Structure 1
Amino acid sequence: MQKSTNSDTSLETLNSTRQGTGAVQMRIKNANSHHDRLSQSKSMILTDVGKVTEPISRHRRNHSQHILKDVIPPLEQLMVEKEGYLQKAKIADGGKKLRKNWSTSWIVLSSRKIEFYKESKQQALSNMKTGHKPESVDLCGAHIEWAKEKSSRKNVFQITTVSGNEFLLQSDIDFIILDWFHAIKNAIDRLPKDSSCPSRNLELFKIQRSSSTELLSHYDSDIKEQKPEHRKSLMFRLHHSASDTSDKNRVKSRLKKFITRRPSLKTLQEKGLIKDQIFGSHLHKVCERENSTVPWFVKQCIEAVEKRGLDVDGIYRVSGNLATIQKLRFIVNQEEKLNLDDSQWEDIHVVTGALKMFFRELPEPLFPYSFFEQFVEAIKKQDNNTRIEAVKSLVQKLPPPNRDTMKVLFGHLTKIVAKASKNLMSTQSLGIVFGPTLLRAENETGNMAIHMVYQNQIAELMLSEYSKIFGSEED
């Protein structure tokens, strides 16, 4: 009777276990003896070698901690080491140079990377919570250095990544930028070097980039001859060929043949492939091509300014948009028809900027180098009449293109001075603008500040005494 009771109790326990957890499935339906039940129980807790296994924790919190420890990296890898505002400019992306544009960024430095946020600190933190991914820089294998030559700003350093991205960081406050430099450098130094970085090695990238210019023409023709399915990555080919001596020798041989066989500049000009340009050419050559003693471009600019710029505040002193000026310069050099009344040249400061650029880019200035010292000696004379006569005599000795262009230009500038009450450009102001542009020494060995004073005084004298200096030259 007691035996039966024990059996019922054991079966009841097993059934409750089966129903409650569902984790243990019994294969033996009947257990007729205490020994059999004991052996079944032991089989559930013993391993094959007879060692007791550690029971698996069924507590959900413990189980989560066990999993997270294997999946999530240690906390110190995610810790923010430094954050704050800096000026940032990205100047290269994957080795391709970019135009430098400075912007204020909220910068977050962790142990392995830097993140750039465009917004304020509060918005940046909000984006971090919502999963927004900012621009990121992997510091593994990166290089950091001061870069004074990369910007006119002070306190600039550069970060170069192994993938060829380059960033400039800057702050006007010395101790702030110094603190950032050392913080980033320490973070880079703590990271594993080339072999452990997922990106390519920095030195390999530099070799590939520097060799690309030398080998580009050679591989460009080779790649075109191959079928698309047989083409390899250009960077891959450059990398392997840079280390191949025979390929280097073949490239050098082809370059030598190309250089020796290339046509001369005169031949290209005769065939019309290369045209003489207006900007950057000698004044007498421009005049010879146009069969004139005053360049057509100078006359056209002066006409436009006198038509709609005499009353403009700061005429010739205010700078025009450089990109538009360069566009105007390109059109003139390509001998395309130029209409300065077109709406794209509406800003008169673009026209005056182009005219100043023309005189600034002359290989020899409007006042020839050989006359520089003579004009300086003339302006040094104490007596005003003697000074005027000396300058007038020198002007008459100038080559016709220089003399006639000078006469047209200064005659135009006297009209600017006549409207000084409206345009606020006095004789002295125009002397400061045009003196260094029209008159300079060939070899600046003396005191540049003293020369600048003389340059301005000569230009002022040509304006204030224009009628006396060019009076006998009237047509």
Structure 2
Amino acid sequence: GVAISTYAKYCYNKLQKAALTGAKKGLKKPNIEEIRHAKNAVFNPSMFGSSLQDIVNMQKERYPDRQLPWVQTRLSEEVLALNGDQTEGIFRVPGDIDEVNALKLQVDQWKIPTGLEDPHVPASLLKLWYRELEEPLIPHDFYEQCITHYENPEAAVAVVHSLPRINKMVLCYLIRFLQVFVQPANVAVTKMDVNNLAMVMAPNCLRCQSDDPRIIFENTRKEMSFLRVLIQHLDTSFMEGVL
């Protein structure tokens, strides 16, 4: 048997996350596979909504040499494989919610299905993965530094290098990935310049903990500026070939 407290703790955590991020169920009722997956999730934690360290621990047996989360790199690669860098509105246009949920189910079983056609689907799931991390990619302890140095490239880069190692690696991979999309030849097609990319990605990296609408509004601008500065100024060449 399983201790009731195990289920209680799991359900409590799920409710807390739902309260923060809202439900994303789409229009379809859950199918048998989704229900089975939900039942097993108590014992097989999802890669979505977990901490970075937990995600890395989950993949240790399968991928002992990986420094980065498999889910992050595979979804990023899939976006590029489907020519996301030549797709208008990439990261702004949402993928079909039911397709995104179906892909999420597959990814949680360490699979990327063949036959994906729409880059907006893995792009949406990738954004969701960042957004649902248990603690934001840039941890709360560093938030004030980020919004203080949102216009100072040198200081902003220094914040990145002061992050815990796993956060730094994951963030630098993301920035290197986004730097592909800001190449002028890509922007001409995607219509997603550095400002647009920073706008859609900042909420997935930084989380304002204030409840004051004025502070949230003011900080949103600073969060976007901070991410824009990183895309423009962070040297990510050391991430070449890192997985």
Short-chain TM bin? 0.7 to 0.9
Partners of 2:157 and 2:42 in 1: how far apart?
43
SS of residue in 1 equivalent to 2:86: coil
In 1, distance between residues paired with 2:233 and 2:181? Answer: 15
Residue type matched to 1:290 in 2? Q
Shift of 1:466: 2.5
The corresponding residue for 2:159 is 394
Q: Partners in 2 of 1:365 and 1:273 — Cα distance?
A: 22
Q: Who is 2:111 aligned against? A: 338
Match of 2:73 in 1: 299
Using the size of structure 1 for normalisation, the TM-score is 0.40
- 1:405 equivalent in structure 2: 170
Does the aligned pair in 2 maintain the 1:293–1:400 contact within 8 Å? no
Is residue 371 of structure 1 aligned with residue 150 of structure 2? no
| Alpha-carbon spacing, 1:440–1:272, altered in 2? closer, same or farther (3 Å) | closer
Following superposition, the deviation at residue 360 of structure 1 comes to 1.1
Contact 1:356 1:437 in 2 (8 A): yes
Write the distance in 2 (CA, Å) between the matches of 1:298 and 1:272: 20
Which deviations, in whole Å up to 9, do the C-alpha atoms of 1:10-57 show, x marking residues without a partner? xxxxxxxxxxxxxxxxxxxxxxxxxxxxxxxxxxxxxxxxxxxxxxxx
> Which residue number corresponds to residue 51 of structure 2?
282
State the alpha-carbon separation in 2 of the partners of residues 339 and 316 from structure 1. 19
**Residue type of the alignment partner of 1:360:** R
> Is 1:349–2:120 an aligned residue pair?
yes
Residue 225 of structure 2: aligned partner: 457
Identical-pair percentage: 24
CA distance in 1, matches of 2:238, 2:102: 39
**How far off its partner does 1:353 sit?**
0.5
Q: Is the 8 A contact 2:136 2:205 kept in 1?
A: yes
2:89 maps to 314
1:347 maps to amino acid: D
Superposition deviation, residue 395 in structure 1 = 1.0
Q: CA deviation at 1:442?
A: 2.8
Match of 2:133 among 359, 362, 370: 362
> For residues 321 and 407 of structure 1, do their structure 2 counterparts lie closer, same or farther at Cα, with a shift above 3 Å needed?
same
Equivalent residue, structure 2, for 1:417 = 182
**CA offset at residue 310 of structure 1?**
1.2
Structure 2 contact 99–121 (Cα < 8 Å) conserved: yes
What amino acid is the match of 1:427? V
Q: Which runs of 5+ in 2 are unaligned?
A: 11-39, 61-65
Q: Over alpha carbons, which structure has the higher Rg?
A: 1
Counterpart contact for 2:49–2:134, Cα < 8 Å: yes
| Distance across 2 between alignment mates of 1:282 and 1:404 | 14
How far apart are the structure 2 equivalents of 1:415 and 1:453?
23
What's the CA shift string for 1:164-222, capped at 9, x where partnerless?
Answer: xxxxxxxxxxxxxxxxxxxxxxxxxxxxxxxxxxxxxxxxxxxxxxxxxxxxxxxxxxx
How much has 1:405 moved relative to structure 2? 0.7
Deviations 1:272-311 (A, max 9, x none): 9711110111111101222443210110111112222211
Counterparts of 1:324 and 1:393, CA distance in 2: 39
Note the alpha carbon deviations across 1:123-181, whole angstroms, 9 max, x for none.
xxxxxxxxxxxxxxxxxxxxxxxxxxxxxxxxxxxxxxxxxxxxxxxxxxxxxxxxxxx
2:143 and 2:41 map into 1 onto residues whose CA distance is 37
* TM-fit CA distance, 1:472: 6.6
**Amino acid across the alignment from 1:365:** P
TM-score, normalized by length of structure 2?
0.75
Matches of residues 422-433 of structure 1 in structure 2 within 5 Å?
422-433=189-200
| SS of 1:379 mapped into structure 2 | coil
Give the number of the structure with larger relative contact order, counting CA–CA contacts within 8 Å between residues 6 or more apart: 2
**1:222-251 Cα distance to aligned partner (Å, 9 max, x none):** xxxxxxxxxxxxxxxxxxxxxxxxxxxxxx
Q: Which amino acid is the alignment partner of residue 276 of structure 1?
A: P
Q: Secondary structure at the match of 1:430?
A: helix
What value does the CA root-mean-square deviation take over the aligned residues?
2.6
Within the candidate set 265, 271, 274, 2:6 is matched to 265
Aligned length: 201
Q: Which amino acid aligns with 1:408?
A: Y
Q: Indicate the SS of the match to 1:275.
A: coil
Partner residue, 2:102: 327
Q: Following superposition of structure 1 onto structure 2, how do residues 64-103 of structure 1 map, counting pairs within 5 Å? A: none
Q: Which has the higher helix share?
A: 2
Deviation at 1:471, TM superposition (A): 5.6
- In 2, the alpha carbon distance for the partners of 1:458 and 1:429 equals 13
Does structure 1 conserve the Cα–Cα contact (< 8 Å) formed by 2:146 and 2:159? Answer: yes
Distance in structure 2 (CA, Å) of the matches to 1:455 and 1:319: 21
User: Using the alignment, how far apart are the partners of 1:285 and 1:347 within structure 2?
Assistant: 30
SS at match of 2:208: coil
- Distance (whole Å) between structure 2 residues aligned to residue 375 and residue 311 of structure 1: 31
8 Å Cα contact 2:173/2:239 also seen in 1: no
| 2: CA distance, partners of 1:303 / 1:473 | 15
In 1: Cα distance, 2:3 partner to 2:76 partner: 41
